[in-house]
Amino acid sequence: MSLIRPFKAVRPAEGKANLIAALPYDVMNSDEAREMVKGNPLSFLHIDKAEIDLPLGTNLYDEKVYQKAKANLYQLLEEKHYLQDEKPCLYLYQQIMQGRKQTGLVCCASIEEYENNLIKKHEHTRAEKEADRIRHVDTTNAHTGPIFLTYRSLQTIEDRMNEIIRHKPLYDFIAEDQVCHRVWLIDQQNDLDFFVENFHKIPALYIADGHHRAASAVRIGQKRRAANQLHTGQEEYNFFLAVIFPDTQLKIMDYNRILKDLNGLSPDSYLQKIAEKFIIEETTSPEPYHPECPHTFGMYLAGHAWFKLTAKPGSYPENDPVGALDVSILQNNLLAPILAIGDPRTDLRIDFVGGIRGLKELEKRVHSGEAVAFALHPTSIQELMSIADANEVMPPKSTWFEPKLRSGLFVHLLD
């Protein structure tokens, strides 16, 4: 079963959605955020990255940052740029990117189901990132960024969504990255009952993106549960903000790797070493090599051209859902044993480039002094679900979802 719940969203007033909505806080740094908000005092980045309104050099984890986030949020409410629905509702959130649509249900999901692994994870969280979001949620008393969830498609649910989106949307705007965002209000009781009852038939939900936001919401819920002697389980802190999309509509892009050096090897000796586990073919096209299927990789080597690498049979465990991932094959057969990248999460010699940047970005980085770049075939949503079902964890930087959910379209207050 999957328990979902309507909620009284704090959301942009009419005509303000395009000004308030912003990319997630973790896809840009503070300097980039300052540039993004120039001329726009309503941007949600003033809440999600409130250090941009404090003096340069302010520590990102200073208490002043969280207090400023709280002040900025409630100022938007006080000045009526935000409003709160009078009764619990659900919402549909549709994104259109390069002609591809994905439509999800905006709701609150259950912290208890997260604890009982009915909301499945595929990623470890980092303590410092989790601590940051815990303080942000606790101080603002709000979930300010939705968790990106998915489920195995159920046609009855998608059919009802398609009926609703035939009506005029509540919000409809195109963001600066040319992604279209549309929102519909669901406030009729028969529709609310339908979605609650039909999601109850779904055995599990899966976190696609937002593990740190989910973990922080759970920690705050547990903290408030322990502090409330009159706890009933129905308080708002028992539920977190989510958008749930059917798996059939989602697209995972490649998440590529760049290495600063060859670990002291010459290009020729490096190629000899990787030939033990990979078939190496130098490409003849001037265009970057896009891996056309799993277990193939593009490699752009400084001083050379694009190569196609194909993992040799026996170089990976075929029946291991984690070990057979392309990111695992590359890490276990090349990055770790040859280039000495032990922990890709912390090693400063490796960097990661989301597929939205394109493979020309890899070429550009190598031309600027990096040693070698790798283009990967995207992880599939089926692989993600299989790993989560097995209670396993993906290697770091395995998935890059596009389009990104905009923050600020929905805020969930905890009381």
Q: What is the pLDDT of residues 73-109, one digit of tens each?
A: 999 999 999 999 999 999 999 999 999 999 999 999 9
Task: Indicate whether 352 pLDDT > 80.
Answer: yes
Per-residue confidence band for 284, with pLDDT thresholds at 50, 70 and 90: confident
Strands 100-110 and 239-246: antiparallel
Task: Indicate whether 1 pLDDT > 80.
Answer: no
Task: Indicate whether 160 pLDDT > 80.
Answer: yes
Q: pLDDT for 356-405, tens place per residue?
A: 899 999 999 999 999 999 999 999 999 999 999 999 999 989 999 999 99
% of the chain exceeding 70 in pLDDT: 100
| Cα distances (angstroms) measured from residue 4 to each of 17, 22, 226, 392 | 25, 25, 23, 25
What value, to the nearest 5°, has the Cα angle with vertex 74 and ends 71 and 75? 80
What is the pLDDT, as a whole number, of residue 26?
87
Residue 65 CB contacts under 8 Å (≥ 6 apart), including other chains: 50, 51, 54, 58, 59
Per-residue confidence band for 285, with pLDDT thresholds at 50, 70 and 90: confident
Cβ–Cβ < 8 Å for 258, 362 = yes
Structural domain boundaries in the chain: 4-250+404-413, 255-377
% of the chain exceeding 90 in pLDDT: 93
**What length is written for the chain?**
415
Per-residue confidence band for 124, with pLDDT thresholds at 50, 70 and 90: confident
Helix axes 189-199 and 155-164, enclosed angle (nearest 10): 160
Half-sphere exposure of 126 (CA within 13 A, CB side): 7
On whether the 255-377 domain is CATH 3.30.1760, my answer is: yes
Strands 306-311 and 296-301: antiparallel
Per-residue confidence band for 201, with pLDDT thresholds at 50, 70 and 90: very high
What is the pLDDT, as a whole number, of residue 376?
97
What is the pLDDT, as a whole number, of residue 305?
87
Q: 11 is written with which tokens? A: 């959301």
CA–CA gap between residue 305 and residue 283 (Å, rounded): 7
For the chain, the three-class secondary structure string (H helix, E strand, C coil) is CCCEECECCEEECCCCHHHHCECCHHHCCHHHHHHHCCCCCCCCHHHHCHHHHCCCCCCCCCHHHHHHHHHHHHHHHHCCCEEECCCCEEEEEEEEECCEEEEEEEEEEEHHHHHCCCEECCCCCCHHHHHHHHHHHHHHCEECCCEEEEECCCHHHHHHHHHHCCCCCCEEEECCCCCEEEEEEECCHHHHHHHHHHHCCCCCEEEEECHHHHHHHHHHHHHHHHHCCCCCCCCHHHEEEEEEEEHHHCCEECEEEEECCCCCCCHHHHHHHHCCCEEEEECCCCCCCCCCCCCEEEEEECCCCEEEEEECCCCCCCCCCCCCCHHHHHHHHHHCCCCCCCCCCCCCCEEEEEHHHCHHHHHHHHHCCCCEEEEECCCCHHHHHHHHHCCCCCCCCCCEECCCCCECCCEEECC
What is the pLDDT, as a whole number, of residue 158?
97
Residue 53 is which amino acid? D
What is the pLDDT, as a whole number, of residue 399?
93
What is the pLDDT, as a whole number, of residue 126?
83
Q: pLDDT for 166-185, tens place per residue?
A: 999 999 999 999 999 999 99
Per-residue confidence band for 303, with pLDDT thresholds at 50, 70 and 90: confident
Q: 158 is written with which tokens? A: 């998608």
CA–CA gap between residue 410 and residue 68 (Å, rounded): 19
Task: Indicate whether 40 pLDDT > 80.
Answer: yes
| First-to-final CA distance of the chain | 26
Half-sphere exposure of 264 (CA within 13 A, CB side): 3
When the pLDDT of each residue in the chain is averaged and rounded to a whole number, the result is 95
Mean pLDDT of 32-55: 96
